[in-house]
Amino acid sequence: MESGMKKGIEMADQNEKELVFLDRNENNYGPAPKCYEVLKNIDFRRLSWYSRFYEKNTKGELSLRLAKEYNLPEKSIVMGYGGEDLLKSLIHCYLKKGETLLIPSFSWWYYKSIASEVGGNTAEYPLYVGEESYHYDIEGTIKVYRELKPRIVFISSPNNPTGNSLTPEQLYQILDEMKDAIVVLDEAYAMFKTTDKDYVKKIVEKYPNTAIIRTFSKYYALAGVRIGFALIGKELDRFELLASKYLGYDRINEQIAIAALDSTPYYEKITAQMNQDKKMFYDEFCKLPGFKPYLSDANFMLVDMEKSKMAAMDEFLKKKGFVIKFLNEKVLNSQVRITIGTHEQNTQLINAIKEFAAG
Ligand SMILES: Cc1ncc(COP(=O)(O)O)c(C=O)c1O
């Protein structure tokens, strides 16, 4: 290996050890103990042999398990290399050059990037800032949809980076209207709000043009294993064919994900703590002059702050070992997005921020 590359890898490893990353909405508690057990007890055949699930005319053990969890046929489940991969594949499958992808006005930068890969246009529908949180503007969204007649609509709930989400009723209202488009509901953070799965089944069955994207990266603390899945309506069968793998998926990661699904009490416990700490952040930021937090349904929180202080705060926190996300986008450039970490990290971080604000 070239010495420059080796040095780069060593530095990245060192950074991971020394810094606390609260900038990419990863789950710092780590996965459930059962996931580590899988790795400890791995059978060599999982490393060396393809799965033989295709002989049974099914995709794999994880998609079968997810079908059971969501009470849907396995055909409705599409596995991917994280939500990222599924969003990209959907765009590459259905959006043609010159067609429009409709996205929220404040959203994950990646949406625009994948539309431009196929020569597609992006247009935005409105979100507005309320007293305590951001909100989707349902009527405004429907108006833009009617005007632009997009091929695909992305809805993100909870939305990154604003943290707000839609109620099932609002979702039905939007989906009833958007029957002529493909609607992709990005639910990467949904489990932090509710673990209810019944509404997912209802949506997939009622709206055949809809795909719901979920991931093991956030709630299950498995971002490194790269597993996402889509729950799709009947009209999206071309996407199902495109994404299906004859020789199966990563057999180790599938087993790790199943171990996570078998660990409900662990995830409920860490999520309860994160929600408590999210409230702590909200209350503390409300008391700090120059900061304005927004309520969030996800494992992160958006906070307004003075733009002129962002660089200094970034430097101050990095010296204390914390990396958080300072937004530098066209519309959101005076905000910081904080991932909720472990209880200890959250306590240390808010103390460091208070120290910065006092200095
Ligand atoms: C809104 C949103 N959707 C999807 C993803 C993709 O996550 P993954 O590819 O790890 O499943 C992310 C990652 O940060 C995200 O913020």
Same domain as 214, residue 94: yes
pLDDT: is 109 or 16 the higher one?
Answer: 109
Same domain as 223, residue 121: yes
Cα 337 off chain centre by: 14
Atom of ligand 1 nearest to the CA of 217: 10
- Average of per-residue pLDDT across 69-78: 97
Q: Give the domain-ending residue among 243, 261, 279.
A: 261
- Average of per-residue pLDDT across 119-145: 96
- Average of per-residue pLDDT across 193-203: 94
Pocket test for ligand 1, best of 84, 213, 301 (most atoms within 8 A of CB): 84
Ligand 1 pocket check for 108: Cβ under 6 Å: yes
**pLDDT-derived band of residue 53, with 50, 70 and 90 as boundaries?**
confident
Q: What percent of the chain has pLDDT over 90?
A: 88
Same domain as 127, residue 233: yes
Same domain as 125, residue 163: yes
Same domain as 228, residue 149: yes
Ligand 1 pocket check for 83: Cβ under 6 Å: yes
Question: How many angstroms does the Cα of residue 83 sit away from the middle of ligand 1?
Answer: 5
13 has pLDDT over 70: no
Question: How many angstroms does the Cα of residue 227 sit away from the middle of ligand 1?
Answer: 11
Q: In this structure, what CATH number is given to the domain that contains residue 37?
A: 3.40.640.10
Range of the domain at 9: 3-30+264-358
Domain count, the chain: 2
So what's the pLDDT on residue 329?
A: 86
Pocket test for ligand 1, best of 108, 113, 226, 302 (most atoms within 8 A of CB): 108
Same domain as 45, residue 22: no
* pLDDT tens sequence across 294-327: 999 999 999 999 999 999 999 999 999 999 999 9
* pLDDT tens sequence across 211-221: 999 999 999 99
49 has pLDDT over 70: yes
- Average of per-residue pLDDT across 16-34: 93
Question: How many angstroms does the Cα of residue 1 sit away from the middle of ligand 1?
Answer: 31
Q: What percent of the chain has pLDDT over 70?
A: 95
So what's the pLDDT on residue 55?
A: 83
Same domain as 195, residue 174: yes
Ligand 1 pocket check for 228: Cβ under 6 Å: yes
So what's the pLDDT on residue 56?
A: 84
Same domain as 333, residue 204: no
331 has pLDDT over 90: no
Same domain as 199, residue 148: yes
Question: How many angstroms does the Cα of residue 78 sit away from the middle of ligand 1?
Answer: 16
Question: How many angstroms does the Cα of residue 108 sit away from the middle of ligand 1?
Answer: 8
- Average of per-residue pLDDT across 276-291: 97
| Spatial separation of the C-alpha atoms in residues 4 and 10, rounded to whole Å | 10
Pocket test for ligand 1, best of 184, 217, 227, 329 (most atoms within 8 A of CB): 217
So what's the pLDDT on residue 9?
A: 54
Same domain as 296, residue 280: yes
* pLDDT tens sequence across 226-254: 999 999 999 999 999 999 888 889 999 99
* pLDDT tens sequence across 134-192: 999 999 999 999 999 999 999 999 999 999 999 888 999 999 999 999 999 999 999 99
Quickly count: other Cβ atoms within 10 Å of residue 117's Cβ.
12
pTM exceeds 0.75 for this model: yes
Q: Which two tokens stand for residue 196?
A: 């209810």
Q: In this structure, what CATH number is given to the domain that contains residue 284?
A: 3.90.1150.10
Ligand 1 pocket check for 82: Cβ under 6 Å: yes
359 has pLDDT over 90: no
17 has pLDDT over 80: no
Same domain as 255, residue 177: yes
